[in-house]
Amino acid sequence: MTAENNQPLLSVRNLRIEFPTRRGTLVAVDDISFDIAPGEILGVVGESGAGKSLTGAAIIGLLEPPGRIAQGEILLEGRRIDDLPYEEIRRIRGRQIGAIFQDPLTSLNPLYSVSRQLTETIQTHLSMNERQARERALELLEEVGIPGASERIDHYPHQFSGGMRQRVVIALALCAEPRLIIADEPTTALDVSIQAQIISLLKRLCNDHGTAVMLVTHDMGVIAEAADRVAVMYSGRIAEIGPVQEVVRAAKHPYTHGLMGSIPHIGHHVDQLTQIEGSMPRLQEIPPGCPFNPRCEQVSERCYVERPNLQVAEKSEVACHLFDAPGLEVRAGD
Amino acid sequence: MIAFLVRRLLQAIAVMAVVAFCAFFMFQFVGDPVNQMVAEDATEEDRQYLRESLGLNDPIPVQFAKFALNAAQGNYGISYQHKRPVAALILERMPATLELAITAAVIAALLGVPAGVYTGLRRFGFTSKLIMTLSLIGISLPTFLIGILLIYLFAVILGWLPSFGRGEVTHLGAWETNFLSISGIKSLILPAITLALFQMTFIMRLIRSEMLEVLRTDFIKFARARGLHNRAINYGHALKNTLVPVITIIGLQLGSLIAFAIITETVFQWPGMGQLFLQAVQVVDIPIMSAYLIMIAFFFVVINLIVDMLYYVVDPRLRIDQPGGGGGHG
C-alpha cells in the first residue's frame, strides 16, 4: 500500500479497447483507470467477457487484432508504453513486465526442453553466456520448487505434470526479474489442490523479488488469498476498486455484493447460495447509463440515463449512483 | 525405437509382397505378350516354343514364386520389346529421373517453405495476397500445359534454354549426371521447374495454413509475452511446430515426383524411367511395367520409413522410452 507516497509502477489512464466489426464498433474495455504500486498484488475479478484479460493483454502490447487501444494511456514508471514501436515494447516484455497465462499445458513449446526455453528467454534479456544462463535457469527451477531440478532441467514439457508446468511457466516469467507480472487466470486450468500451492508460490516469489502482480481471475477465493487490492470489473468498466478486506467484507457496489454473496462460507449454513439474476450483457447490448442496471436490485431512474463514475467511498472507490455525494437518497452499504 | 523400427520394417515387407503380387498378376490379365513379340508369319510351334522359354506355361503359383524370388534379387526378366534385362534398362534410366525429381523437390522446398512462412505471417499484406493468387495457377494448371508454356517462352521465344533432352551428361561410373556441365544444367531447369511448380505451391499453402494454426497457440503467445525476438518466435518456435505434417507431405510428394514425372518427361522428352514406362505401356511390355510398379512402391515405402524416423528427431513426445517420462506432481 505504497501507492499514496510513491510513483505507481503501472498506471492505466482512461483505457478504452475497441473491436471494429462490420456491424459497428464494440467497446470491450470502456474508460478504465487504475494504478499498481511497486510490489503490490492487484486482483482483477469479474465474469468472462468483463474485459479483464484484454486489459492485461493491452498492458503488454499483445492485444490481438482487430482489437485496439482506442483511447487512454498506459504508463510504466511514468513512461508511456502503449504507443511504443514494436521493438521497444518487445524489450519491455519479459524484461520489465512478465506474463503468465491460463493453461500451463499449452503455454510451453512441446518441441523444446525446459532448459532451452529458459536459457533462450534469459539470453534474450540478460547478457549471459550459455553456461551462466543455464545456471540461472537451474536456480529458477529450484526457486519455483521443481524437485530434482538438476535432472529435470533437460526434460520436455510433456514430462511434467500440470502443476509442475505452471511452475516452469512462472520460472519463465521471472527469468529477467520483471517489476510486474500479469497473471491471467494462472490457476484456472489446475486441480483445486494445486491451485493453492501455485498461488502461494506466486505470492511468496513476488514478495521475495519485490515484483508487483496484476492477478486476473474470476475466483474470489484466489483474490482473498493473495491480493492486496482488488478491482471488480463489469462490462468493460471498473465497478469497484479498493483494499481487498474492504471489498470482500464491506462490498459497496450491488454487483460486488452479489459476487460476495455467491461464495459459499464454511461454517455458515445456507440452504441456497445467493445468485445475481440474469447475466452480463453482451458487448453489443450494453445498456445506456449503468451497465448493471438490468440486474440491479437497487436501481433508480438515474441509473438508466447517467453513467456512474468511480468515486471515493470510504477506503474504496465505487462506480454507483448510490454513493453519489450530492445525491441525497444515498443508502450507504446496507 | 527399435521395436518401432522392426514393426515398420515388417509392415514394409508386407506392403512390398502385396505390390509384387499385383505386379505379377498384370502378366495374367494384360494381353498376350507373345502376340507382341513374334513376327506376323510365326507358326503355332514358334509361339509355343516362346511361351515355354518365357515360363508362361507353368502353373500360376509356380510362376509367382519364381517371379518373387527373382524380383527380390533384382531380376525382373527380359523386356519383351528391348530384349534386354529390365533391371539394366531401369538402372540406366534411373539417374535421369532421380536428378529431375530431386532438383524439383529442392526447388519446391527452397521456395515453398519461405513463401509459406511469409504468407502465414503477413496474412493481410499485399505481397501475401499476390503470392496466394499466383499460387492458384500452380495448383490448378495441369503440368503438361505449364511445361509447354515454359518451352514456348524460354526455348522458342527467348531461346535461352533447350526445349528437350538432357543435354550433355557426365559419366560418373554407371551414373550419368546433369549437374557437371552447363548444357546439362540448362536442360534441367525447365523440366525441374515444371515438375516443381505444383509441389511448391502445395508446400507453400500447407506451411501457410499450419503457420496460421500454430501462431494462434498459447505457447506462441507466451513466447511473445517473454519478449523473444520475432525471428526466434517465427522460425524457432512456430515453423518447427509445423514440421511434422510438412515432413509427411514433402516425403509423400517426393515419391509422387518420382512416380509421376512421366508427364514432364514426356513433354521434355526426358530420357528417364517415366518415358521407358510409357513406351512399355504402348507395346504391353509387361516385365518393364511390373518392375516399374514394384520399384515405385519400393521408393514410397523407403521414403515413408525415413519420414517416420524423422518424426522422432522432430517431436520429443514420440520418444516415449526415454527415461524420466511423466512423474512429478505439483
DSSP secondary structure of B272-326: SHHHHHHHHHHTT-HHHHHHHHHHHHHHHHHHHHHHHHHHHHH-GGG-TTSTT-S
A 152-181 residues inside an 8 A Cβ radius of B: 152, 155-156, 158-167, 169, 172-173, 175-176
Of A62, A109, A155, the CB nearest to B324: A155
Using the Cβ of A257 and the Cβ atoms of chain B, whether some distance falls under 8 Å is answered with no
Which residues does B contribute to its contact with A (CB < 8 Å)? 217-219, 221-230, 232, 236-237, 240-241, 314-317, 324-330
Domain ranges of chain B: 2-72, 86-317
Query: Given an 8 Å threshold on Cβ–Cβ distance, is A120 in contact with B240?
Result: no
Using the Cβ of A200 and the Cβ atoms of chain B, whether some distance falls under 8 Å is answered with no
Of B219, B232, B329, the CB nearest to A106: B219
**Whole-number Å distance between alpha carbons of B70 and B68:** 5
Question: Tell me, what's the pLDDT at A3?
Answer: 43
Question: Tell me, what's the pLDDT at A330?
Answer: 44
> Could you tell me if residue A165 is inside a domain?
yes
Of B228, B314, B327, the CB nearest to A111: B314
Query: Given an 8 Å threshold on Cβ–Cβ distance, is B328 in contact with A152?
Result: yes
pLDDT at B60 exceeding the cut of 70: yes
Question: Tell me, what's the pLDDT at B322?
Answer: 47
Conformational region of residue B23, where left means phi above 0, alpha means psi within -120 to 50, and beta covers everything else: alpha
Q: If you average pLDDT over residues B208-224, what whole number do you get?
A: 91
> Could you tell me if residue A156 is inside a domain?
yes
Question: Tell me, what's the pLDDT at A118?
Answer: 93
Using the Cβ of A194 and the Cβ atoms of chain B, whether some distance falls under 8 Å is answered with yes
> Could you tell me if residue A136 is inside a domain?
yes
Question: Tell me, what's the pLDDT at A331?
Answer: 46
Q: What are the tens digits of pLDDT across the range B257-315?
A: 887 788 888 888 888 888 888 888 888 788 888 888 888 888 889 988 888 888 888 88
CA-nearest of B82, B109, B34, B70 to B275 is: B82
Nearest chain B residue (CA) to A149: B328
Q: If you average pLDDT over residues B317-324, what whole number do you get?
A: 60
- So what CATH class is B86-317? mainly alpha
Query: Given an 8 Å threshold on Cβ–Cβ distance, is A161 in contact with B221?
Result: no
Range of the domain at A173: 97-177
Q: What are the tens digits of pLDDT across the range B142-159?
A: 888 888 888 888 888 888
Q: What are the tens digits of pLDDT across the range B202-214?
A: 889 999 999 999 9
Q: Which amino acid appears at position A76 of this protein?
A: L
pLDDT at B74 exceeding the cut of 70: yes
ipTM of the complex model: 0.85
Query: Given an 8 Å threshold on Cβ–Cβ distance, is B330 in contact with A164?
Result: yes
> Could you tell me if residue A331 is inside a domain?
no
Considering its fold, how many domains does chain A have in total?
1
The proportion of chain B whose per-residue pLDDT surpasses 90, expressed as a percent, equals 8
> Could you tell me if residue A231 is inside a domain?
no
Query: Given an 8 Å threshold on Cβ–Cβ distance, is B228 in contact with A173?
Result: no
Which helix (H) or strand (E) element contains residue A318?
A: strand A316-318
Q: What are phi and psi of B88, to 5 degrees?
A: -65, -40
Asked if B47 contacts B33 with a C-beta cutoff of 8 angstroms, the reply is: no
Band of residue B33 on the pLDDT scale cut at 50, 70, 90: low
Q: Which residue ranges in chain A fall short of pLDDT 50?
A: 1-4, 327-334
Using the Cβ of A209 and the Cβ atoms of chain B, whether some distance falls under 8 Å is answered with no
Asked if A275 contacts A262 with a C-beta cutoff of 8 angstroms, the reply is: yes
